[in-house]
Amino acid sequence: MREEGTLLDAGLRPTRQRLAILRAVAGQGKPVTAQELYSKLRGPRGGPGLATVYRTLRSLSDAGLLRTFPAGEGELAYRLCEPGHHHHLICERCGQVVEIPSCEVEEWAAGVAERRGFVATHHQADIFGLCGNCRAVEPRRARRSA
């Protein structure tokens, strides 16, 4: 099972709870909050409690398996990212996240650091905006409210 190996590689015991939560996050196109995941995992026979979902998500992100994204009002949303250095395009309206596997700012970051006497060890850069779908609905909305 792929998720089991992922957990073991990160030094986490693959408990049933962790596997279920990791799989549930992996199945989402967008980052999910603990609250959303909690509602999703609650079936007719119950599911993990909200505190457990919070705790498990935090341990998965502490282990570097999940990335966190701001979800408003101090909430965090979690997403399973590809391993390795990459950047994100994030839609501010629908929350969709697109991974950009290439890094085009490495040289710029190293240069900026060097000119100020730093040695760059790593950097983070995400781009926020509106995705194609959201841009398509935007003009209609604007006209209606005008």
Candidate ranges 36-44, 69-77, 94-102, 138-146; the one touching Zn ion (CB under 5 A): 94-102
CA distance 70 to 73: 8
CB of 50 to Zn ion, least distance (A): 25
CA distance 29 to 80: 10
Confirm or reject binding of residue 81 to Zn ion (CB under 5 A).
Answer: yes
- H or E, element range at 63: none
CB of 16 to Zn ion, least distance (A): 26
> How distant is the alpha carbon of residue 24 from its chain centre?
13
CA distance 28 to 128: 19
Confirm or reject binding of residue 113 to Zn ion (CB under 5 A).
Answer: no
Which of 9, 62, 99, 138 touches Zn ion (CB under 5 A)? 99
CB of 46 to Zn ion, least distance (A): 32
Question: Burial letters for 104-132: b for 16+ Cβ neighbours within 10 Å, e otherwise?
Answer: eeeeebeeeeeeeeeeeeeeeeeeeeebe
Which of 19, 20, 89, 103 touches Zn ion (CB under 5 A)? 103
Range 8-67, binding Zn ion (CB under 5 A): none
15 versus 99: smaller Cβ distance to Zn ion: 99
CA distance 4 to 6: 5
- The footprint of Zn ion on this chain (CB under 5 A) covers a number of residues equal to 9
Which of 10, 41, 63, 131 touches Zn ion (CB under 5 A)? 131
Q: Give residues in contact with Zn ion (CB under 5 A).
A: 81, 91, 93-94, 96, 99, 103, 131, 134
